[in-house]
Structure 1
Amino acid sequence: MFGKFRREAEEKILALAEREGILVDPVFTIPTVPRFGDLSTNVCFQLAKTLKKPPVEIAEMLAPKIKPTGLIADVQAAAGYINFYINYTVFVKEFLESIGHDFGRGEKKEKVIVEHTSANPDGPLHIGHLRNAVIGDTLARILRFAGFDVEVHYYLNDMGKQAAKVVWGRRRYGTPEGKADHATAKIYIRATSEIEEQGLDFEVSEILTRYEARETKAVAEFEEAVEYCLTGIKQTLSRLGIHHDKFVWESRFVLDGSVESVIERLSKSGFAKREEGALLIDLTKYGIEKDMVIVRGDGTSLYIARDLAHHAWKMSLGRAVNVWGADHKLVSMQLTAGLDILGLPAPEFIIHEFISLPQGGMSTRKGVFISADELVDETVEKAFEEIELRRTGMDETDARGIAEDIGVSAVRFNIVRIAPEKSMVFKWDEALDFERQGAPFVQYAFARAKKILSKAEGVEKATASETLGDEEKRLVKTLSRFPEVVNDAADSRKASIMAGYAIDLSNAFHSFYMSAKVLGSEKEGFRVALVEAFTTVQGSVMDLLGIKQLSEM
């Protein structure tokens, strides 16, 4: 509905420009101060040079020539801008009559492969992987809601030296007790230390060579080790509401000859050179000084060779979006260059910066890291402590159930609200903020609305009101923006836009709740309809962000 209002305003400006014989490219923004309208355009600043007049004079000249119709109630000039005001009498009726559970859902679009998480199967997810998984999952949800045919992939690096070290360790130590991914980390850390101390790297290379040759014993050992670790990783992801449609093993591209084909094509490309038996690709043409090593001196392929084969296959399925960490920036550039040499399109990359805790970072290799499980557990425990302070006397089982939903939601929301290109420090006081910016604030708004509706059974809802207060207008306008927000988040591939909208919408509802009595008021039917519309939109927003919906807090 807000999109319709925007289109009407744009049509008014373009029609006026045509009548006046001037060329314009109107840009609209939403004013932060209500007295400056509901939409504002800076078109007069664009025209200042052409018309040789100040923007203020141009705005005062053009605004009176625009006749308000449809969803537009008034048009005014202010400080060089042309401001459009919503006709809320018409707007709110059309909006409330159009709202439904599919409100904001886009029409069917093309297929998109979203790859995220893709952590090596050598231990549990750490908080860096967690940021990747949350960004990727939220983006996949948004793209799917926007109408894309989304398929979510996890690319399993089962042929790297990390996996080979786990196999080597399992042969020597067996499998310790505990959650599968954490048990695997114990093996990997111990094996890495022993291999480095005793100079046994050649044994790891031999294991990897046998696996690439698809020797029966090696294949069975690798598959068992990888599947075992993956069991634990899936448990962590499932707790967070994150699921993948397909787990793609990189070894398949060795087995079906794809890697060999890619290596052969690259070796004949004119960019290749040999050094001590290794095959390197010169990428200076692409602004990359470091050569891309495709094959080691011992004849085994590197990760990038298998990844090129993987992407040659993946790009044949449709458009692709890769969510990768900042430590993969160079690889993303190499991959893009390699695919171009092969004459293939590249995926889109969402590169997220690092995440840390106030007390420091993490490293799986050295055995010092903060696992995703630990972070979620700690957040849930802190949520439980907050509930005990706010709801004294609540049954402990109920409190812990609510704490789980709040804690998991808080982790997801606190991660996704920060744009990927910004590094972040995960702070529990921000994540569990009930008052302003955390997931609990969003959940609390939803719970408040549901409580009102539970007491409004039998109330005849109304879709129109002769007059609207400022907070009613604010809520209606914010709700109506949802379809535009979905499209903006999907088109820009920025899930953080949806998180920002969740806060805006929650703020609008809380302000409405504090200023407008709903049940028993003269406008009861209309306000109940407005609260119901809020739960519909907020419910969709929470689903897209992976935030649990609670009827009580």
Structure 2
Amino acid sequence: MRAKKYIQDKLKQIITTKGLSWPEKVSLEPPKEKKFGDLATNIALVTSKQVGQNPRQWAESLKDELLKLCPDLEKIEVAGPGFLNFFFKTSFWHEVVKKVFEQKDTYGSSNLGQGKKVQIEYVSANPTGPLHIGHGRGAALGDSLTRIMRFTGFDVHTEYYLNDAGRQMRLLGLSVWVRYQQLCGRSVSLPDECYKGEYIKDIAKEILARYNHDLLSKSEQEAITLCQEAAMHSILEGIKKDLENFRVEHQVWFSEKSLVEQGEVESTLDYLKNKGLAYEQDGALWFKSTQFGDDKDRVLKKSDGLLTYFASDIAYHKNKFDRGFELVVDIWGADHHGYVPRMKAAVQALGKDEESLQVILVQLVNLLREGEPVAMSTRAGEFVTLSEVCEEVGVDAARFIFLTRKSDSHLDFDLEVVKKKSLDNPVYYVQYAHARICSLMLKAKERDINIDQSLNDLLPLLNTEEDMAILKHLDQFSDILTTCARTLSPHHLSYYLQELAGLLHRYYTVHPVLNARDNLLIQARMLLFQAVAQVLKNGLTLLGVDAPQRM
């Protein structure tokens, strides 16, 4: 927010000149009530002891100095025990339109990250079945966070961790092998723990078409391994296609199996042993995670010699840091909540600050149809896939709805509500604001209405309360993106866009645009609307959602 930086820079100048230190408890934010100005600060209250003055007297002194340094301020009021309330001139807010037109698609970008190397790993679903709507929420979150962090100056790399080793993959192979045998006429039953979806039967049919009955002559282990590899390849191709259609990027697909085969898991275990952070007990190998705040030590290798997922995960994170990432962001399902402390412990054991690993937990999506729940069981095969949801409601709607709430909050996703073309539908509400502006500009062209005056001549005409509300909101765009990047929370952007769309829709009902009282006012309001359209487009793009020109 230019206004915030403008005041903050001047305040720091005064504080430094007086030999004072800038306190952490200083707040400089828009007040809840408009009557208290555009910004308010408590700086006089929290620094009065340093200067040995009554807070209100000190506030009056600061007010006098600030008015000399800040020609863009209309006035400053001292309120209550010593708060400073700032009121900007309307000309200050007009500058935001110039900034939008100058920067266009880059408006709102910044160098917040200063090139910091970040890795974001997301989705990472076991390749044991198609992606469902829960995976879609994590995909939208990870991809949008990537876009926002790159836009704010971070060097972000994206990755999908492929769990292609372990029990779930063996169960996948067994599931397909049983279905294959049934297709060949053998009377075998599918074990309860196996995957039961129709996609398992489809994969078995593909294997039968390729190998005929040849697998029946192989050993069971050999046949299961072949079925497992074929199934994983088929499912993974489907996952990649679904994510591509969902506009989601993964630069690296990292294999868990490769960690084992290349000896990285064992070398990581040796590293922990050499550091005195792993020990043997009851025939198993344990990690001293309690040394780093975990509630108990964790098994790395079982007594039967099998590695735990945790052992592979430690090796994987060591690999991440060895690749030079300064910040590692993992996006997991909420059911992994208990796993966070042990991974934080592992990161510290690897010699890294625990804050260099940030875990975002994604709560479940309650999929509904007209208020009634839709089944979501992958193992039982009774679930709606992400691709089916996107086919029914569209990629734009799915992505936007996923990002309307904080990731650790439960989300109700009603298929029928999301399809409605009404202003009660949040994605329609925002997209319609952009399309509405595009339609208005097209009508202006048809009427041969052009913007032929300079910005300096037109912008002063934007002086109503509704003009100011939109201009101030446009000015906050960069701040919102900074908040998203710092808190790893893209939902702040979806809130912002809904608020901006609301201001636009309300403006349209209060003020005529193409039918304004004179040509200059028409042009001024067209400028304002074009600026709004640009910011809506920039924001929607960062969410991975289209900004349509017509609806």
- Residue of 322, 327, 330 corresponding to 2:335: 327
Q: Which amino acid aligns with 1:320?
A: V
> 2:75 is paired with a residue of what secondary structure?
strand
Partner of 2:532: 534
Q: Which amino acid aligns with 2:386?
A: A
1:256-275 paired onto structure 2 within 5 Å: 256-275=262-281
Partner of 1:413: 400
Partner of 2:304: 298
CA distance in 1: counterparts of 2:20 and 2:384, whole angstroms: 60
CA distance in 1: counterparts of 2:444 and 2:547, whole angstroms: 19
CA distance in 1: counterparts of 2:16 and 2:155, whole angstroms: 40
Partner of 2:108: 104
CA distance in 1: counterparts of 2:17 and 2:351, whole angstroms: 49
1:68-79 paired onto structure 2 within 5 Å: 69-79=70-80
CA distance in 2: counterparts of 1:536 and 1:260, whole angstroms: 53
Change (3 A) 1:83 1:121: same
Post-superposition offset of 1:446: 0.6
1:130-529 paired onto structure 2 within 5 Å: 130-174=136-180, 183-184=198-199, 221-317=227-323, 318=325, 319-344=327-352, 346-357=356-367, 359=373, 362-377=376-391, 380=393, 404=394, 408-427=395-414, 431=418, 434-435=422-423, 438-457=426-445, 458-460=450-452, 462-464=454-456, 465-467=459-461, 468-521=463-516, 522=518, 523-529=521-527
Post-superposition offset of 1:485: 1.7
Q: Give yes or no for contact 1:123–1:188 (8 Å, CA) kept in 2.
A: no
CA distance in 1: counterparts of 2:196 and 2:510, whole angstroms: 51
Post-superposition offset of 1:374: 4.6
CA distance in 2: counterparts of 1:428 and 1:170, whole angstroms: 32
Identity of aligned residues (%): 28
Post-superposition offset of 1:90: 4.2
> 2:296 is paired with a residue of what secondary structure?
coil
> 2:376 is paired with a residue of what secondary structure?
coil
Change (3 A) 1:436 1:171: closer
Q: Give yes or no for contact 1:123–1:364 (8 Å, CA) kept in 2.
A: yes
Q: Deviations over 1:305-356 (max 9, x none)?
A: 1121111111223132111122222323222222322334552211233332
Partner of 1:392: none
Partner of 2:90: 88
Q: Report the more deviating stretch, 302-311 or 335-344.
A: 335-344
Post-superposition offset of 1:448: 0.6
Q: Which blocks of at least 5 consecutive residues in structure 1 are unaligned?
A: 190-203, 211-216, 381-403
1:20-39 paired onto structure 2 within 5 Å: 25=23, 26-39=26-39
Post-superposition offset of 1:23: 5.5
Post-superposition offset of 1:261: 0.8
Post-superposition offset of 1:520: 4.4
Q: Give yes or no for contact 1:281–1:294 (8 Å, CA) kept in 2.
A: yes
Change (3 A) 1:104 1:265: same
Post-superposition offset of 1:114: 0.8
Change (3 A) 1:112 1:455: same
Q: Which blocks of at least 5 consecutive residues in structure 2 are unaligned?
A: 184-194, 205-218
Q: Deviations over 1:202-234 (max 9, x none)?
A: xx9x95xx9xxxxxx887654432221112222
> 1:456 is paired with a residue of what secondary structure?
helix
Change (3 A) 1:459 1:7: closer
- The number of equivalent residue pairs is 499
Change (3 A) 1:289 1:24: closer
Taking only aligned residues, the RMSD between alpha carbons, in angstroms, comes to: 3.4
CA distance in 2: counterparts of 1:186 and 1:461, whole angstroms: 68
Q: Give yes or no for contact 2:203–2:231 (8 Å, CA) kept in 1.
A: no
Post-superposition offset of 1:75: 1.6
Change (3 A) 1:532 1:134: same
Post-superposition offset of 1:363: 3.3
Partner of 2:213: none
Change (3 A) 1:54 1:497: farther
Q: Deviations over 1:80-133 (max 9, x none)?
A: 531212222244146425342211223461321110000011112233322211
Post-superposition offset of 1:552: 2.1
CA distance in 2: counterparts of 1:88 and 1:62, whole angstroms: 23
Q: Which amino acid aligns with 2:338?
A: L
CA distance in 1: counterparts of 2:182 and 2:464, whole angstroms: 64
Partner of 1:123: 129
Q: Give the TM-score of the pair, scaled to structure 1.
A: 0.80
Q: Give the TM-score of the pair, scaled to structure 2.
A: 0.81
Partner of 2:544: 546
Q: Which amino acid aligns with 1:282?
A: K
